Chains A and B, each alone.
Chain A
Amino acid sequence: MTDDIEADFTAAVRRAGLTLDEDRVAAMRDAYRELQKLLAVLDAPLVYAEEPAFALDLTRIEGTR
């Protein structure tokens, strides 16, 4: 594990306000690393027109008309 991942993980836990059991820190750090590895597939460049799924559709909002 690189120092970057270690530091990122520690920061992410702190920023989320979570407290980990001491004996589970290593397992959670490994899971964090696996998660980031998986999420890297989302880094592939996308054109502007590729908007998010479930973008707001005002015709579906009830109670304002």
Chain B
Amino acid sequence: MNPALPLPTIAESSRAIMRGELSPVDLAGAALARAEALAPRLDAFIRLTPERAIASARAADREIAAGRRRGPLHGIPYGLKDIYDVAGLPTTAHSKLLVDNIAENDAATTARLEQAGMVLIGKLATHEFATGGPAWDLPWPPAHNPWHTDHFTGGSSSGSGAAVAAGILPMAMGSDTRGSIRAPAAYCGTVGLKPTYGLVSRRGIVPLSFSFDHAGPLTWTVEDCALVMQALAGHDPLDPASANVPIPDYTAALKAGVAGLRIGYAKPFNAEVAVNVEQAGALDAAAALFARLGAEIVEVTLPPIDRFNACAHAISGTESFALHQKDLRTRPGAYARVTRERLMLGAFVSGAQYVQAQRVRRILTTQVDALFKTCDALMIAPVPGPAPRLDAVETGPWRRQQPLTAIFNVTGHPAICVPGGFAANGLPLSVQLAGRFFDEARLLRIAHAYEQEAAWYRKRPTLATLG
């Protein structure tokens, strides 16, 4: 393995391991070497776990050699946003408050990935407690975008986006409360899936907002996303929101194409939320591509964005404040300023506003779900444009530009971001597709068809090839 090059995808590595052409030890070594080489420029990791990684990779080598290969993830490196528990390791949430917080058990998701034979390379940077924004008054610096290190990764799964885009890892776990998987995927040019609420367990992940939090993967390709979802999805009776639903084979129909499917393009949304001309152009081009592939494109209109944003602030903000109120009262200085101020806003929502938001949430969910009666997927802008410069990101308590992705945290529908081309400045654009509840298989199929035809995944950040 040449650590100067991006790691192969999961599917590529898996095939090579199966044929005996690639060793998990070599793969883990390449990931660790690449992580160390790029650390000064990306700050993607909070902690590397080299001894554990090599031990896991050796164990995978032995098992595979003995004919006990567990499946396509066996021996494949991965990373965890540092809000996921790993027994015996700190879970810091990128915060001074949890710097000594050693996990007693694996998160349910960690356990599933380990059971599948994946090899943990390290814990990744996040915005503090998966909220706030890039901050320089924390124990670790914010991550940088591999396409241009002066630019923002998106958040809060910032290290996950950076590490996958830079080819350090083929997969990293993120979490998504208002878009924290999909925004880094969009800004860093990776695939990022927020599954249906309840499909992937949240047990053992530092919570931000009980009813808005989702766990999911960032990968380089849709196929890799499907492979990882096969391991992640499933009922967890110890997660009170976990759904007990059948889990399909996510790769079975991946290559079935989109002919005959109907995709609702939320084109009016572009003007409503001031999506810039390049990002809007990427969506228009994606609509044309889908049509060429045989899908029917229909224009759809979503409920007004202000209603989603009000729900998100009233419910998610209140849930977050409830979790953090004691520390915000007794040691507010332990938080980064941006985290502290944004969390404090949750205190300013009245009980009546919270209940009204819950009522409106149900209405919005029903309205969005009704669109899926006639559409197999919706296509919606995930971000207003390419990643801004890090020093231009809003870090005040109020964001003039609210996340566009929160729509599907309000409703719980699955949504995926797929690379959608490049802006004139070389930074990635993105296409967001949303699907029916628990129909990730169809959503992945549609995303895969777009990805393979558009082929933006073939271009890697220049940084990634320098090593």
User: Could you tell me which A residues sit within 8 Å of B by CB distance?
Assistant: 9, 12-13, 15-21, 24, 27-28, 30-32, 34-36, 38-39, 41-43, 46, 50-54, 60, 62
Among the listed A15, A24, A35, A50, which residue makes an inter-chain contact with B345, where contact means beta carbons less than 8 Å apart?
A35
A13 to B347, CA, bound (A): 8
What are 26 inter-chain pairs, A to B, with CB distance below 8 A? A12-B347, A12-B348, A15-B347, A16-B329, A17-B325, A18-B329, A18-B347, A27-B396, A27-B398, A31-B345, A31-B397, A35-B313, A35-B348, A38-B313, A41-B304, A41-B307, A42-B310, A42-B314, A42-B356, A43-B356, A46-B356, A52-B355, A52-B361, A53-B358, A60-B240, A62-B237
Residue of A with least CB distance to B309: A38
Q: B residues within 8 A CB of A21? A: 337
Chain A interface secondary structure, helix, strand, loop or mixed?
Answer: helix
Taking the complex as formed, is B15 at the interface, i.e. its CB lies under 8 A from any CB of chain A?
Answer: no
Contact A34 B347 (CB under 8 A): no
Contact B314 A39 (CB under 8 A): yes
Contact A39 B349 (CB under 8 A): yes
Q: B residues within 8 A CB of A50? A: 359, 362-363
Extra 7 A-B pairs, beta carbons < 8 Å, given A24-B397, A38-B306, A54-B211 = A16-B321, A16-B347, A32-B345, A36-B348, A50-B362, A53-B211, A54-B358
If the complex has contacts A31-B396, A39-B313, A39-B353, are A16 and B362 also in contact, measured as CB distance less than 8 A?
Answer: no
Contact B328 A41 (CB under 8 A): no
If the complex has contacts A41-B306, A50-B359, A53-B361, are A31 and B341 also in contact, measured as CB distance less than 8 A?
Answer: yes
Chain B interface secondary structure, helix, strand, loop or mixed?
Answer: helix
Interface Cβ pair total, 8 Å cutoff: 95
Among B211, B341, B348, B396, max chain A CB count under 10 A is at B348
Among the listed B337, B344, B358, which residue makes an inter-chain contact with A18, where contact means beta carbons less than 8 Å apart?
B344
Contact A52 B358 (CB under 8 A): yes
Q: A residues within 8 A CB of B365? A: 53
A16 to B314, CA, bound (A): 15
Contact B344 A28 (CB under 8 A): yes
The B306-360 residues at the A interface (CB cut-off 8 A) are 306-307, 309-311, 313-314, 321, 325, 328-329, 332, 337, 341, 344-345, 347-349, 353, 355-360
If the complex has contacts A27-B396, A51-B362, A53-B359, are A41 and B310 also in contact, measured as CB distance less than 8 A?
Answer: yes
A31 to B61, CA, bound (A): 55
In the complex, the 5 A-B pairs of residues with the closest C-beta atoms, listed nearest first: A52-B358, A16-B347, A31-B398, A31-B397, A53-B362
Q: A residues within 8 A CB of B240? A: 60
Q: A residues within 8 A CB of B321? A: 16
A46 to B356, CA, bound (A): 9
A52 to B328, CA, bound (A): 28
Residue of B with least CB distance to A17: B329
Q: B residues within 8 A CB of A9? A: 348
**B329 → A minimal CB distance (Å):** 5
Among the listed B237, B349, B359, which residue makes an inter-chain contact with A52, where contact means beta carbons less than 8 Å apart?
B359
If the complex has contacts A39-B310, A53-B362, are A18 and B341 also in contact, measured as CB distance less than 8 A?
Answer: no
Contact B359 A24 (CB under 8 A): no
Contact A38 B332 (CB under 8 A): no
Among A18, A19, A20, A46, max chain B CB count under 10 A is at A18
If the complex has contacts A18-B347, A35-B348, A52-B355, are A42 and B360 also in contact, measured as CB distance less than 8 A?
Answer: yes
A60 to B117, CA, bound (A): 32
Q: A residues within 8 A CB of B313? A: 35, 38-39
Per-residue contact bits, chain B 362-389, to A (CB 8 Å; 1 contact, 0 not): 1101000000000000000000000000
**A45 → B minimal CB distance (Å):** 10
